[in-house]
Amino acid sequence: MRFDIVTIFPGIFESIFSAGIIKKARDKGMIDIKIHDLRDYTTDKHRQVDDRPYGGLEGMVFKPEPVFKAVENIKQSTEKSLVCLLTPQGKLFNSALAEKLASYEQVILICGRYEGVDERVSDYLSDEEISIGDYVLSGGELAAAVVVEAVSRFVPGVVGREESVRHDSFSTGLLDFPQYTRPRDFRGYKVPPVLFSGDHQKIARWRLKKALEKTLAKRPDMLKSRKLSPQEEELLSEIQEERKES
């Protein structure tokens, strides 16, 4: 799968895409990331990408021409491609949207700037507008990096098997259970003894209970939209009983 990022800050991405899982996936050819400087698609002497908004008000707005030219140049007609505009006005990015993007051969990410992008980009050029959360960033660059990482994890082979099949929060619909490693006693803070019991069924039950407890405490909204198994129902009533007692 191929990502093409259109940005006025091409230098931002160098280090972020040269480490960890993304680097490995690029080295193995499972993903390809190309960064495009929006200014390369201007035609004037000053390489101007923005202009003052019609109707007044302060701030500058991205002009449509360079953005259209960039995308038209980058888009591979032979590939199933999707053009995304990163903006705080977009659809909230989540695991389901990441999985959808991973089904395309080419994803083009246009990094907007918070003052604005000429509306004709979202009306006539982009297929999807994406926001990574309800807060404002000065530009879409960090959001683009978030999208690339989250989408890449859904590309077959990018994430190792032991990591992927495991309890991924947003595929199980529950937050992760707690993990511990050595030492058993760290400054008096002890690892739960059930984990040394060797009883795998008991450990699995304990983990599921902890995952439910954590989700109930931190993200009750996730439980509302999820169907519980009979064992989960049982553990949940146990948790609620314990809450009443304490």
Q: What is the signed CA dihedral for 44, 46, 50, 53, rounded to 10 degrees?
A: -90
Cα separation values, 80 from 87, 104, 124, 174, 187, Å: 23, 6, 18, 33, 55
Return the residue of 131, 158, 159, 175 that touches ligand 6GU, per CB under 6 A.
131
Candidate ranges 86-94, 120-128, 202-210, 233-241; the one touching ligand 6GU (CB under 6 A): 86-94
When asked if residue 140 is in the footprint of ligand 6GU (CB under 6 A), the reply is: yes
Identify which of residues 87 and 215 has a Cβ nearer to ligand 6GU in the complex: 87
Closest to ligand 6GU by CB, 70 vs 143, is 143
- Which of 15, 29, 124, 136 contacts ligand 6GU by CB under 6 A? 136
The answer for residues whose C-beta is within 8 angstroms of residue 160's C-beta and 6 or more apart is none
Residue 170: CB minimum distance to ligand 6GU, A: 18
Interaction between residue 159 and ligand 6GU (CB under 6 A): no
Catalytic residues: 88, 115, 153, 168
Assess 84 for contact with ligand 6GU (CB under 6 A): no
* 109 in contact with ligand 6GU (CB under 6 A): no
Query: Angle 200-218/230-245 helices, nearest 10 degrees?
Result: 70
Dihedral of the alpha carbons of 31, 32, 33, 36, in degrees to the nearest 10: -150
Nearest approach, Cβ of residue 86 and ligand 6GU (Å)? 3
Asked if residue 66 binds ligand 6GU (CB under 6 A), the reply is: no
Q: How many residues bind to ligand 6GU according to rule CB under 6 A?
A: 16
Contact residues for ligand 6GU, defined by CB under 6 A = 86-88, 90, 112, 114, 130-133, 135-137, 139-140, 143
